[in-house]
Amino acid sequence: MKDVTKNACHLCAPLGASLVYKGIKNCVTILHGSQGCATYIRRYMIGHYREPVDIASSSFTEHTAVFGGQENLLKSIENVIQTYDPDIIGIATTCLSETIGDDISMIIKEYQKRNMERTRPVILYTSTPSYRGTHVTGFFKTIHDVVTQTSKQAVTNAGQINIFNGLFSPAEIRVIRTIVSDFSLFPVIFPDYSDTLDGGSWNQYHPVPPGGTSLKKLSSCGNSAASIDFSFCQKDELSAGMFLKEKFDIPCFKNAYPIGIELCDNFFKTLSTLSQKPVPEIYTQQRERLIDAYVDSHKYLYGQKAVVFGEENLVYSICTFLAETGINVVCAATGGPAGSISGLKLNDYFNQTSILEDCDYEDIEEWVIHNETDILIGSSRGNKIAKLSGKPLIRCGFPIHDRIGASRQEFLGYNGTHNLFDQITNTIIERMQNSMPANYATM
Amino acid sequence: MSNNKKITTEEVKEEILAKYPPKVARKRDKSFVINEPGSGQEIQANIRTVPGIITQRGCTYAGCKGVVLGPTRDIVNITHGPIGCGFYSWLTRRNQTLPEKESDENYMAYCFSTDMQDENIVFGGEKKLREAIQEAYDLFHPKAIAIFSTCPVGLIGDDVHAVSREMKEKFGDCNVFGFSCEGYRGVSQSAGHHIANNQIFKHVVGTDDTIKTTKKFRINLLGEYNIGGDAFELERIFERLGVELVATYSGNSTIDSFANSHTADLNLVMCHRSINYMAEMMQTKYGIPWMKVNFIGAKATAKSLRKMALYFEDPALSAEVEKLITEELPLVEKEVAEIKKRTAGKTAMLFVGGSRAHHYQELFKELDMRIIAAGYEFAHRDDYEGRDVLPNVKVDADSRNIEELKVEKDSSRYKERASEKKLEELKKSNPEFQNYIGMMPEMESGTLVIDDISHYESEILIKKYQPDIFCAGIKEKYAIQKSGVPLKQLHSYDYGGPYAGFKGAVNFYKEIDRMVNTKIWSLIAPPWKKDPEIDAQYISA
């Protein structure tokens, strides 16, 4: 690891935790640490989703930092209950509370001891020091920790399956729900921030925005017939599906984000197997259309050089998809840890792909300056590289704060892939068009 | 406009406080004032936010690195800590900068961090910090490197000051200095402002004595951070007046301008909260008087320029100021006369900053709009009640925690700019000469003044009053707009601006006109909800 990180390609773990808690129904998050953590993370998530994000803080003082955060956390739980009356409080730690070694499970026990008569809210917690991992590991760890704390097993419900999401957009969560339901399966989708982070205008005041996975649904995870878990590039210890497999013997399918024919096929095949139903006609048609588009556009895309950057799971899936189209991924970069994408044999698809792991945007910029590139695919933070190199940037992933529509970005499934595909193709065509001395109107 | 006129302000306050546990309610009560100018009301401010109450406030680090030091383009700012803090403060404050030449140093687009990992927390991060400074130095050879401490740094005992000193000595040609601005250290970003002021004053101000221009009037503009290009508009105005802007703290600034800023003759203070320390210290050490100004609002701008001219007692300068005002103010007034027809009588609430909630009232007044509630996010009592209360402000543990520099006259650099007699006269003619009168005296009787408003409280205010516009920041924006009230961001300006000076005022009028008169809100209820007949037809079909 280098000494100075210049323009990091990852964020901190408590942000991932906050995102997961936004996917629980009537849940308020408390970050245990300095109030700046809550403010910064709210500010950053709101910039991307353009929706209210309410995160409370235990607001450490110097005194708290020295003598421990128990009383502050207990006070914040009490105040959140009084003002928001949530069903669930989700607590995540920060570097501050972790450095002084606060034991959250002990503090929660103390809370329960002091409030024996209370039946709600349920208090969940996760440990997310920002000096360990990234926002991506924080995200998956929180899903894992919530499921370990809430899931119970009673009777297996043959039609119910768990979907443990990756870092999807609200629109993509809706797509996943539709797809799974079209197989006549009943999904427990977690986290589900499809409404909380992409809601409409309100007719009435809501202390906590409506939407999210309910506690009842969460506790029924143990009754599901199977889990599909999108923590594909993560270690099994961060997988909620793998936890349920070990604890309740529920089969777990670790799928990559379904982008492109191959990865969508995997997902749909899994659903078909689980439901014992053929893939609905509507999706085979979508698939055919996508392939048809691949064929039509191959002349523009073949040999185009793409640099893809962002969180490891998204990078892996986009690279796999681009390989199908004829685009050559010349550089795949992630701020995720070493081994997160290099183990996935991207070079089976491409002759020579530079893989940068645990990298920052300066490493990517350096790479782009010294190598030939046609197109950049990644978050808004690639803007500086795009400006400097004059290459177009297709925005995807997190954060997207310089364009609207991050919540509605939909790149999953055959149709979602088609959206991404059209965007990429049109961007490349536009470049060709603009670089031709004799301009032309039709393709 | 209030939907429910029967509800009194007292009742609203009561209803809001009723939701809190008794102890919290008692505490919030003191920060919740129904304004009665001239009655000597006290407001509780700069007190810790109650844990669990969702606040607008940020942390000490944010105030230090993000606000005060962020806008200076040629200092390499390294965040010492895990990655989050550096990332979240990376180009998120929209302070603009414009290097004179393309080859000039500009590190604004960078976010440097030591990205501390587990092992740095366990074994200490000084080694990594030292190597990070070295790497940054080798890469850029900057004039200065600044180190900002995040929460864990103070706890594990890394000495950022010692490392900075060591590296400064080692390089010889690069000023390296550190800030103990751990997030938990103060009540809000305000503590970070103070720490930033102290360290710039200690390490930078007064290190370059050369007088670089021959202009007669040389001033500093303090507390102007060039959000949305405000400083550019003010630079234009001073340029026209022939007044030399030695340094702006810190919009569109360079470290060299700070080093030289003790040679100016007057400090104009915009954001009193974030920079009054610097004004006071420069006065004590170098003899530079200061005055509070406000360049938000066209009339306020004219007034502030006149105050400045009065200080210099120069007929030519006064004539220039009058000439500028006669040329520019009528154009602004023509614009506002037209827009006012659509904004007059509408209501606004402002909850932002340590100055903006006050300054922006001027612009709303020019639009004939009424302010029904206002408050600061991180201000102190003097920003509300005026500096006269300073002797009565209790010094609590949190304030003691922030170093008060002991400043003395600099034997060689101190220069008396104005005689005692002149200073006294100026104080008489200008109540804001070396003084700030605060926000509350300038607000109407019966309006609400709330310090550190919580997320919950602001939502209740919206529900009760449905103001025509609410001014705050991005964290509040979408929550407020969900309820059908437009929110103007006064941190980032919603990517608009500039709003300062004469040209800025016109931009703001147009923006508010757009926001309070949009048709979008009328579309919220679908026709089948609005028209019962359609509803009935649908059911019968």
Domain positions in chain B = 60-185, 217-342+388-429
Class of domain A157-275: alpha beta
| Region of B484 on the Ramachandran plot (φ > 0 left; ψ -120 to 50 alpha; else beta) | left
**Tokens at residue B58, please?**
């940020």
Scanning B331-390 for CB atoms below 8 A from A yields none
For residue B396, give Cα distances in angstroms to A351, B43, B151, B375: 66, 16, 21, 22
Establish how many alpha carbons lie within 13 A of residue A220's alpha carbon, considering only the half-sphere containing its beta carbon. 20
The CB density around residue A439, as the number of other CB atoms within 10 Å, is 7
**The CATH classification of domain B60-185, taken from the options 3.40.50.1980, 3.40.50.720, 3.30.70.920, 1.10.340.70:** 3.40.50.1980
Is the sign of the CA dihedral B458, B461, B463, B468 positive or negative? negative
Chain A's closest residue to B458, CA to CA, is: A207
B180 SS3 class: coil
By the CB < 8 Å criterion, does B57 face chain A?
Answer: yes
Per DSSP bridges, beta strands B32-34 and B448-450 are antiparallel
For residue A71, give Cα distances in angstroms to A372, B76, B219: 57, 39, 49
pTM comes to 0.95
Mutant choice from B26, B46, B57, B83 vs A, greatest count of A C-beta within 10 A: B83
Cβ contacts (< 8 Å) between B134 and chain A: which residues? 3
For residue A161, give Cα distances in angstroms to A236, A266, B168, B342: 19, 16, 60, 56
Class of domain B217-342+388-429: alpha beta
By the CB < 8 Å criterion, does B124 face chain A?
Answer: no
Residues in Cβ contact with A414 at an 8 Å cutoff, skipping those fewer than 6 apart:
A261, A264, A283, A286, A287, A289, A290
Q: Does the structure show a pLDDT above 70 at A254?
A: yes
Angle between helices B501-516 and B315-343 (to 10 degrees): 10
Summarize pLDDT for A12-32 with one digit per residue, the tens: 999 999 999 999 999 999 999
Mutant choice from B28, B115, B122, B123 vs A, greatest count of A C-beta within 10 A: B115
Amino acid, res. B71: P
> Which single residue is written with the structure tokens 């609002």?
B297
Phi, then psi, of A204 in degrees rounded to 5: -135, 160
The domain segmentation of chain A, as residue ranges, is 13-134, 157-275, 287-435
Cβ contacts (< 8 Å) between A72 and chain B: which residues? 51
Residue A43 has its nearest CB partner, among B88, B151, B184, at B88
Q: Which has the closest alpha carbon to A41: B85, B31, B81?
A: B85
Residues in Cβ contact with B16 at an 8 Å cutoff, skipping those fewer than 6 apart:
B28, B32, B456, B457, B460, B461
The CB density around residue A279, as the number of other CB atoms within 10 Å, is 18
Q: Is B471 a catalytic residue?
A: no
Residue B478 has its nearest CB partner, among A15, A50, A95, at A50
Establish how many alpha carbons lie within 13 A of residue B441's alpha carbon, considering only the half-sphere containing its beta carbon. 15
The 3-state secondary structure of B308-374 reads HHHHHCCHHHHHHHHHHHHHHHHHHHHHHHHHHHHHCCCEEEEECCCCHHHHHHHHHHHCCCEEEEE
Q: Is B491 a catalytic residue?
A: no
Q: Is B45 a catalytic residue?
A: no
In terms of DSSP H, where are the helices of A326-412? Answer: 361-370, 383-389
Is the sign of the CA dihedral B236, B237, B242, B246 positive or negative? negative
- Give the pLDDT of residue A208: 94
- Evaluate whether B253 touches B70 at the Cβ level (below 8 Å): no
Rounded to the nearest 5 percent, the helix, strand and coil shares of chain B are 50, 15, 35
The CATH architecture assigned to A13-134 reads 3-Layer(aba) Sandwich (3.40)
Per DSSP bridges, beta strands A157-164 and A186-190 are parallel
Distance between CA atoms of residues B181 and B176, nearest Å: 16
Q: Does the structure show a pLDDT above 50 at A330?
A: yes
By the CB < 8 Å criterion, does B85 face chain A?
Answer: yes
Helix and strand counts by DSSP (H, E) for chain A? 16, 14
- Give the pLDDT of residue B390: 96
ipTM of the complex: 0.94
Distance of CA B217 to the CA centre of its chain: 26
Distance between CA atoms of residues A155 and B444, nearest Å: 66
Residue B351: Cβ-neighbour burial (10 angstroms; 0-12, 13-18, 19+): buried
Report how many Cβ contacts below 8 Å link chain A to chain B: 237
Distance of CA B233 to the CA centre of its chain: 17
Residue A56 has its nearest CB partner, among B54, B88, B182, at B54
Sheet holding B347-351, edge to edge: B32-34, B448-450, B370-375, B347-351, B469-472, B487-489
The CB density around residue B399, as the number of other CB atoms within 10 Å, is 17
Distance between CA atoms of residues A376 and A373, nearest Å: 8
Distance between CA atoms of residues B489 and B228, nearest Å: 11
Residue B84 has its nearest CB partner, among A15, A65, A209, at A15
Scanning B219-258 for CB atoms below 8 A from A yields none
Distance between CA atoms of residues A207 and A26, nearest Å: 9
Question: Choosing from B28, B57, B185, B193, which is the catalytic residue?
Answer: B193
Distance between CA atoms of residues A276 and A176, nearest Å: 18
Distance from CA of B499 to the nearest CA of A (A): 22
Sheet holding A27-32, edge to edge: A55-57, A27-32, A88-93, A122-126
b/e burial code for range B208-244 (CB count within 10 A of at least 16 → b): beeeeeeeebbbbbbbbbbbbbbbbbbbebbeebebb
Distance between CA atoms of residues B370 and B364, nearest Å: 7
Summarize pLDDT for A17-75 with one digit per residue, the tens: 999 999 999 999 999 999 999 999 999 999 999 999 999 999 999 999 999 999 999 99
Sheet holding A224-229, edge to edge: A186-190, A157-164, A224-229, A252-254
Q: Which has the closest alpha carbon to A386: A403, A366, A365?
A: A365
- Enter the DSSP assignment of B101: S
Residue A83 has its nearest CB partner, among B19, B401, B482, at B19
The CATH architecture assigned to A287-435 reads 3-Layer(aba) Sandwich (3.40)
Distance between CA atoms of residues A310 and A332, nearest Å: 9
Distance between CA atoms of residues A213 and A24, nearest Å: 5
Cβ contacts (< 8 Å) between B76 and chain A: which residues? none
Residues in Cβ contact with B250 at an 8 Å cutoff, skipping those fewer than 6 apart:
B68, B69, B70, B71, B72, B95, B225, B258
Residue B61 has its nearest CB partner, among A36, A51, A78, at A36
Mutant choice from B46, B57, B64, B88 vs A, greatest count of A C-beta within 10 A: B88
Distance from CA of A401 to the nearest CA of B (A): 10
Q: What is the dihedral of CA B44, B46, B52, B54, to 10 degrees?
A: 90
For residue A127, give Cα distances in angstroms to A15, A98, A130, A139, B89: 12, 8, 10, 11, 23
b/e burial code for range B472-495 (CB count within 10 A of at least 16 → b): bbbbbbbbbbbbebbbbbbbbbbe
- Give the pLDDT of residue B533: 57
Cβ contacts (< 8 Å) between A4 and chain B: which residues? 78, 112-114, 131-133, 135-136
Tens of pLDDT along chain B (541 residues) come to: 444 456 789 999 999 999 999 999 999 999 999 999 999 999 999 999 999 999 999 999 999 999 999 999 999 999 999 999 999 999 888 899 999 999 999 999 999 999 999 999 999 999 999 999 999 999 999 999 999 999 999 999 999 999 999 999 999 999 999 999 999 999 999 999 999 999 999 999 999 999 988 899 999 999 999 999 999 999 999 999 999 999 999 999 999 999 999 999 999 999 999 999 999 999 999 999 999 999 999 999 999 999 999 999 999 999 999 999 999 999 999 999 999 999 999 999 999 999 999 999 999 999 999 999 999 999 999 999 999 999 999 999 899 999 999 999 999 999 999 999 999 999 999 999 999 999 999 999 999 999 999 999 999 999 999 999 999 999 999 999 999 999 999 999 999 999 999 999 999 999 999 999 999 988 988 888 766 555 444 444 3
User: Hey, are the CB atoms on A43 and B474 less than 8 Å from each other?
Assistant: yes
Distance from CA of B222 to the nearest CA of A (A): 25
Phi, then psi, of A383 in degrees rounded to 5: -55, -40
Q: Return mean pLDDT, chain A.
A: 95
By the CB < 8 Å criterion, does B142 face chain A?
Answer: no
Question: Choosing from B25, B48, B93, B151, which is the catalytic residue?
Answer: B93
Distance of CA A203 to the CA centre of its chain: 30
